[in-house]
């Protein structure tokens, strides 16, 4: 499929009712990239967990959060940039938290930078093992 | 497009069966919580959650199952979960919740 | 559902392989808004036809086109702003053209402004008749 | 997620049946065109396009059907289309293509 890196952006209101839209968009992208059904499902679930935290916390500085889907030839990368620095703090990884433990189990990588970049990033390889 | 959640309650003699179909996510989970808690408070019976039609669940939904289990225990009752699809069973394994619940095929 | 007007944005590369992503996103939004299955399908088909024309023409001035989904309480509005003025010209409505006639039949309104705004806009009411 | 297109060819004595399943859109339609044109050139027979598994088609795909019809006529042959789902039959009606093709249930 895609030979060079490409980007799809989705901007959603901080509202619980639109998390399903993030899921459908993610599954459309992952299926098109050639992920198998189980991996498509993994990506959907992981992204939903991220969205859940964002919409639960909300934001005062912006109406919407932006999800960047970066399409590599054999890897999907999902990036979220927090304009609102407070949001990065939602993703502290204490092992007892259901949402975070699900994301970490389903994706190959999961990182939240609270330094200058203030970005959440997670990725999964096509046919990579979980 | 079966993104909505449908909850059906079937009263048996000694327990109540709840059939879930559709998706439990952060949007639909509030309804699930109210319904399951309400049923427990009404019936004070064991509950069988039949997940045959459940295509998706997130941590919000799993958290509600845990809450329902705690509530059931207060009444001295139990929760059994049946007919989980593979993708959902996987989430129970990942989170360790498979050890908390009685999970039937 | 939504009481005030809300907006979801999707930015896609000018590539045929991602038109299916536009479709899935649109169907997720329309289903969430409460459109019946047939209307969800109509919106998907109409948006695909728009995307088809854009990706066939391509653009030299931008990598991606942006689809705005405007969510009213009982109506969906889909807007595309053309940075590249040439793109608006793709939607001339000569009645013999399959894509355009499909869009016009399936949506309640369909307009392309080639003046200063340079915008494509189409809308459909929930339970509106086609 | 059956967004890909599957094309299956079944040769009968006097015609060729082509079963479509999945989605025909601008991305998959080039493959459809090559396949249908190729079959016509090879067989020079009547063609039955069975759309039972076809869940989606756009104007690109409809345009290919029209092209295939033109090519078949050059060989003195016909195209019949069967088992259209309601959402797709609707597109044939909207575009007037229902008058161009022999459409079977
Ligand atoms: N592996 C587990 N075993 C038992 N209980 C758990 C497990 N993981 C989470 N829980 C419990 O499930 C409930 C919901 O979990 P979680 O979504 O992590 O809650 P929160 O986000 O409110 O901390 C909490 O009561 C938590 O203690
Ligand atoms: N209602 C119709 N009846 C018969 N032929 C049609 C009809 N609409 C379109 N066609 C033909 O179908 C083919 C593809 O249509 P269209 O997608 O409109 O082509 P294009 O975009 O290349 O002009 C063209 O050959 C066109 O003439």
Quick: pLDDT tens for D72-86. 999 999 999 999 999
Nearest ligand to residue C92 Cα: 2
CA A83 to chain centre: 16
Average pLDDT over residues B3-12: 91
Residues of chain C whose beta carbon is less than 8 angstroms from a beta carbon of chain A are 1-2, 6-13, 15, 17-18, 20-21, 23-25, 27-29, 32, 63-64
Position C59 scores a pLDDT of: 87
Quick check: CB of B91 below 6 Å from ligand 1? Answer: no
Position C19 scores a pLDDT of: 97
* Half-sphere exposure at residue A38, Cβ-oriented, CA atoms within 13 angstroms: 12
Is there a contact between D26 and C98 if contact means CB atoms under 8 Å apart?
A: no
Position C94 scores a pLDDT of: 58
The answer to whether residue B91 scores a pLDDT higher than 90 is yes
- Whether pTM > 0.80 for this model: the answer is yes
Q: Which ligand 2 atom minimizes the distance to the CA of D70? A: 25
Radius of gyration of chain D (CA): 13
Nearest ligand to residue B62 Cα: 1
Residue at B28 is within a domain: yes
Tell me if the domain spanning C8-66+78-125 has CATH number 3.30.565.10.
yes
Position C8 scores a pLDDT of: 98
Residues of chain C with pLDDT under 70: 1-3, 93-96, 128-130
The answer to whether residue A65 scores a pLDDT higher than 50 is yes
If DSSP codes are grouped into helix, strand and coil, which group holds residue C38?
helix
Give long-range contacts, CB 8 A cutoff, 24+ apart: D64-71: D64/D24, D64/D29, D64/D32, D64/D33, D64/D36, D65/D97, D65/D101, D66/D97, D66/D100, D67/D33, D67/D37, D68/D36, D68/D37, D68/D40, D69/D100, D69/D101, D71/D37, D71/D40
Query: How many CB atoms neighbour CB A86 within 10 A?
Result: 12
Quick check: CB of B66 below 6 Å from ligand 1? Answer: yes
Position C34 scores a pLDDT of: 94
How many angstroms separate the alpha carbon of residue B51 from the centre of ligand 1? 20
**Looking at the DSSP assignment, which residues form a beta bridge with residue C66?**
C11
The answer to whether residue B78 scores a pLDDT higher than 70 is yes
Domain residue ranges in chain A: 8-66+78-125
Quick check: CB of D95 below 6 Å from ligand 2? Answer: yes
Query: Phi, psi at residue C29, to the nearest 5°?
Result: -65, -50
Q: Is the dihedral of CA C113, C114, C117, C122 positive or negative?
A: positive
Chains D and B touch (3+ CB pairs under 8 A): no
Q: How far apart are CA D43 and CA A37, in angstroms?
A: 37
Is there a contact between D27 and C19 if contact means CB atoms under 8 Å apart?
A: yes
Asked if C90 is an interface residue toward chain D (Cβ–Cβ < 8 A), one would say: no
Range list of β-strands (E), C1-130: 6-13, 64-71, 75-81, 109-113, 119-125
Pair D40, D6: CB distance under 8 Å: no
Position A117 scores a pLDDT of: 77
The closest alpha carbon to C80, from C50, C106, C55, C56, belongs to: C50
Is there a contact between B25 and A106 if contact means CB atoms under 8 Å apart?
A: no
Position A95 scores a pLDDT of: 52
Nearest ligand to residue B71 Cα: 1
Is there a contact between A37 and D3 if contact means CB atoms under 8 Å apart?
A: no
Position D1 scores a pLDDT of: 38
Q: Which ligand 1 atom minimizes the distance to the CA of A97? A: 18
The complex scores an ipTM of 0.85
Quick check: CB of D66 below 6 Å from ligand 2? Answer: yes
Quick: pLDDT tens for A80-90. 998 777 777 78
Is there a contact between B26 and A106 if contact means CB atoms under 8 Å apart?
A: no
Q: How far apart are CA C20 and CA C61, in angstroms?
A: 23
Residue at D75 is within a domain: yes
Neighbour-count burial for C59-81, b at 16+ CB within 10 Å, e otherwise: beeeebbbbbbebeeebbbbbbe
Quick check: CB of D94 below 6 Å from ligand 2? Answer: no
Q: C98-106 vs D59-74: helix axis angle to the nearest 10?
A: 140
- B102 — pLDDT class (breaks 50, 70, 90): very high
Pair D49, D65: CB distance under 8 Å: yes
Position B1 scores a pLDDT of: 39
Asked if C31 is an interface residue toward chain B (Cβ–Cβ < 8 A), one would say: yes
Percent of chain B with pLDDT over 90: 95
Q: How far apart are CA C22 and CA C43, in angstroms?
A: 11
Quick check: CB of D60 below 6 Å from ligand 2? Answer: no
Q: How far apart are CA D14 and CA D37, in angstroms?
A: 17
Residue at B1 is within a domain: no
Position D3 scores a pLDDT of: 55
Range of the domain at B80: 6-104
- Provide the shortest C-alpha distance from residue A4 to chain B (in Å): 31
Average pLDDT over residues B81-92: 97
Residue at D1 is within a domain: no
Quote the number of domains for chain B: 1
Quick: pLDDT tens for D29-71. 999 999 999 999 999 999 999 999 999 999 999 999 999 999 9
Quick check: CB of A104 below 6 Å from ligand 1? Answer: no
Quick: pLDDT tens for B20-55. 999 999 999 999 999 999 999 999 999 999 999 999
The answer to whether residue A23 scores a pLDDT higher than 90 is yes
What rounded mean pLDDT belongs to chain B? Answer: 95
Q: Which ligand 1 atom minimizes the distance to the CA of B99? A: 3
Q: How far apart are CA D105 and CA D85, in angstroms?
A: 9
Q: How far apart are CA B21 and CA B53, in angstroms?
A: 4
Residues of B in contact with A106 (CB under 8 A): 94
């Amino acid at each position: 499929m895609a030979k060079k890196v490409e980007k799809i952006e989705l901007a959603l209101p901080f509202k619980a009712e639109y998390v399903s839209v993030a899921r459908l968009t993610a599954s459309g992208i992952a299926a098109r990239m050639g992920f198998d059904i189980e991996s498509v499902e993994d990506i959907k679930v992981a992204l939903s967990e991220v969205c859940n935290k964002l919409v639960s916390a909300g934001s005062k500085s912006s109406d919407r959060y932006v999800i960047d889907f970066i399409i590599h030839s054999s890897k999907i990368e999902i990036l979220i940039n927090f304009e609102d620095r407070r949001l990065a703090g939602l993703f502290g990884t204490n092992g007892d938290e259901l949402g975070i433990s699900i994301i970490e189990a389903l994706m190959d990588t999961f990182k939240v930078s609270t330094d200058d970049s203030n970005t959440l990033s997670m990725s999964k390889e096509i046919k990579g093992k979980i | 497009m079966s993104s909505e959640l449908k909850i059906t309650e079937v009263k048996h003699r000694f327990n109540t069966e709840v059939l879930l179909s559709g998706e439990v996510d952060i949007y639909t989970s509030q309804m699930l919580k109210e319904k399951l808690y309400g049923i427990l408070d009404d019936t004070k019976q064991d509950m069988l959650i039949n997940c045959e039609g459940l295509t998706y669940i997130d941590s919000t939904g799993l958290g509600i199952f845990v809450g329902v289990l705690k509530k059931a225990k207060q009444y001295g009752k139990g929760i059994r979960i049946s007919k989980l699809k593979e993708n959902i069973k996987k989430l129970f394994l990942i989170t360790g919740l498979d050890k908390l619940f009685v999970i039937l095929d």
